[in-house]
Amino acid sequence: MSQLTRRELFCLSAAGVGGASASGWLGALAAHAAKPLAGKKAKQCILLWMDGGPSHHDTFDMKPDAPADVRGEFTPIQSSVTGLQVTEMLPRVAKVMHLAAVIRGMSTGESEHGRARTYLHTGYRVGAGGLQYPTMGSLMTAAAGEPADAAMPNFVVTGTHLNPANWSYVASPGHLGPRHTPLIVADPAGGVANLKPGVDDAEFDDRAAVLDQMTRGFLRDRPAPPAAAQATAYQRAVQLMRSPKGKAFDLSAEPLKVRATYGDHAFGKGCLLARRLVEVGVPFVEVYHAPTPGGWDNHTGARAKEVKTLALPQLDQGMSALLADLKDRGLLDNTLVVWMGEFGRTPKVKPDGGRDHYARAWTTLLAGGGVQGGAIVGRTDKTGATVEDRPVSAADFMATVCQALGVDPETEFQVGERPVRAVDKGSKPLTELF
């Protein structure tokens, strides 16, 4: 093995990474890893997850004519769509409702948090077929194939207060295996852990160049799959360190004015991070919104107060900023934004002001990604208790997201000897949305 000069290393790097650095860190491998996707540009997705289950009565399916113990404390206001009213708590969101479609016929039957979170994230009921199913981001990115940009992760989850007891539903790749586990950025303002080298850049480059030699030597003697996989993971990690796109994780690079528009709270920062990641091509980002450990789970008056003072105003600020910003930057046509929780809340308000779990009739939103803005699909009865028109199951909803993202819901994954569909049989996407 002869010592390569710096100049030769640079020549190697020209074949692959094309990054800003002078060293050729596994440059030859990079040429294989960074194959662009053939054909048209893939769609991207941002999932805004309202953990705990927001009330449809208190957000996008208001019942102002119902009795006081059903309509609740909030007054409807007119939105930017004729005939569509939303809660007074979401004045900024009201102004961008022409970008979003409201699905009022969610009817999913699972009203226990854990089971419903999994059902809505996977489209399959817990325990169905004795399998664990992939969360939405794992499913969509796996179905879409290898990422166009090997330097960036293809599925990122962000947001604090991830429910520590039950949060694997957000990040579990299920039967797809650990390769499809998301990169988790627990603190959206904190960025990716360990992304910066612990030594100065020149030292890092020198070390990486020698490491490159060691790696090549090992691969020459033993070109075994685990050795190649190790080299690829390291190469992607170093590419991320060096990629200008890695800066997408750094919110401080954003102008103060923009940061202020999104809001100085985890959800607003998560939305801003999502926009920055989508901008550099990350296919799927999930932003988890639960400003308190209870999230949207407003069983009691005290919890309802948390929702009123924290969850709703932060949602208003973050989501309205995100939709407007995506629109302004021309990203919305290609980016589907999903707003949902695991279920709605009971039509009746309890004496202390709380509402309990309710899965028979509730509401979600879809925006962008070719979805018709301003559409209202489905209808509940006078009290928001039953779906009178266009009921939507979790599998139907998943199939609709698939359609928006250009993924075939009948895509089959091989799990051992058994083919498993991306979305369960019998699901019907909401084709009228497109």
Name the site residues for other proteins (rule: CB under 8 A): 1-3, 127, 129-130, 153, 162, 164-165, 167-168, 171-172, 177-179, 181-184, 186, 192-199, 203, 206-207, 210-211, 213-215, 217-219, 221-227, 229-231, 233-234, 236-238, 240-241, 416-418
Task: Identify the DSSP state of 415.
Answer: E
Residue 373 host element (H or E): none
Q: How far is the CB of 198 from other proteins (least distance, A)?
A: 3
Q: How far is the CB of 321 from other proteins (least distance, A)?
A: 25
Distance CA 360, CA 358 (A): 6
Q: Which residues contact 265 (CB under 8 A, 6 or more apart)?
A: 291, 314, 317, 318
Q: What type of residue sits at position 40? A: K
Q: Is 41 exposed, middle or buried (0-12, 13-18, 19+ CB in 10 A)?
A: exposed
Residue number, 165 or 256, with CB nearest to other proteins:
165
Instruction: Give strand pairing partners of 389.
Output: 379
Q: Token digits for 28? A: 């030859």
Q: How far is the CB of 204 from other proteins (least distance, A)?
A: 9
Distance CA 213, CA 231 (A): 12
- Report strand pairing: 376-377 vs 100-106: parallel
Q: How far is the CB of 249 from other proteins (least distance, A)?
A: 12
Indicate the Cα dihedral angle 216, 219, 221, 222, nearest 10°. Answer: 170
- How far separated are the first and last CA of the chain, in Å rounded? 60
Q: How far is the CB of 1 from other proteins (least distance, A)?
A: 4
Residue 319, SS3 per DSSP: helix
Q: How far is the CB of 134 from other proteins (least distance, A)?
A: 12
Alpha-carbon torsion 191, 192, 195, 198, what sign?
positive
CB 44 within 8 A of CB 335: yes
Distance CA 209, CA 266 (A): 39
- Report strand pairing: 44-50 vs 335-341: parallel
Residue number, 227 or 433, with CB nearest to other proteins:
227
Residue number, 228 or 376, with CB nearest to other proteins:
228
Residue number, 211 or 385, with CB nearest to other proteins:
211
Q: How far is the CB of 370 from other proteins (least distance, A)?
A: 31
Q: How far is the CB of 72 from other proteins (least distance, A)?
A: 32
| Separation of CA 187 from chain center | 15
Q: How far is the CB of 47 from other proteins (least distance, A)?
A: 18
